[in-house]
Amino acid sequence: MSQASHQWPLWEVFVRSKNGLAHKHSGSLHAPDAEMALKNARDVYTRRSEGVSIWVVPSSSITASSPDEKDPLFAPSDDKVYRHPTFYDIPDEVGHM
């Protein structure tokens, strides 16, 4: 039994620092279940009022892009400058747009 307890799953902790902001990754921790993960996350990551809301997600549920795919995944957006507002020349007289 005590062998099994060593293998608590890993959880990723996301904290919303203020109302209106998105949850942001804070770190990770081990816990036997979601409820304990939340309680531990409160103690580990919000000891100084860093948050108003916490998400815990089993690390095993996260699919991450691999650094080797960085170029094929993200490079295509690099040459699409026309997606940015500064690409367009609008005369100052038009005012803020």
Partner 1 sequence: MGETHSLEDRFQAFVEAENKVEPKHWMPDGYRKTLVRQISQHAHSEVVGMLPEANWISRAPSLRAKLILLAKVQDEAGHGLYLYSAAETLGTSRDQMIDDLLSGKAKYSSIFNYPTLTWADMGAIGWLVDGAAIANQVMLCRTSYGPYSRAMVRICKEESFHQRQGYEIMMTLAKGTKEQKAMAQDALNRWWWPSIMMFGPSDDNSPNSAQSMKWRIKRKSNDELRQEFIDKTVAQAEFIGLTLPDPDLKWNAETGHYDFGEIDWTEFFEVIAGNGPCNAERLAARQKAHDEGAWVRDAATAYAVKQAARKPNPSTQTHAA
Binding site for partner 1 (CB under 8 A): 1-2, 4-8, 10, 27-30, 32-33, 35-36, 43-44, 47-48, 53, 55, 64, 66-67
Q: In what order do the strands lie in the sheet with 10-16?
A: 23-30, 10-16, 53-58
- DSSP tag of 10: E
Helix (H) or strand (E) holding 57: strand 53-58
Least CB distance from residue 53 to partner 1, whole Å?
8
Least CB distance from residue 26 to partner 1, whole Å?
8
**The tokens of 45 are what?**
């990551």
Least CB distance from residue 73 to partner 1, whole Å?
13
d(CA 90, CA 33): 56
Q: Which is nearer to partner 1, 67 or 72 (CB)?
A: 67
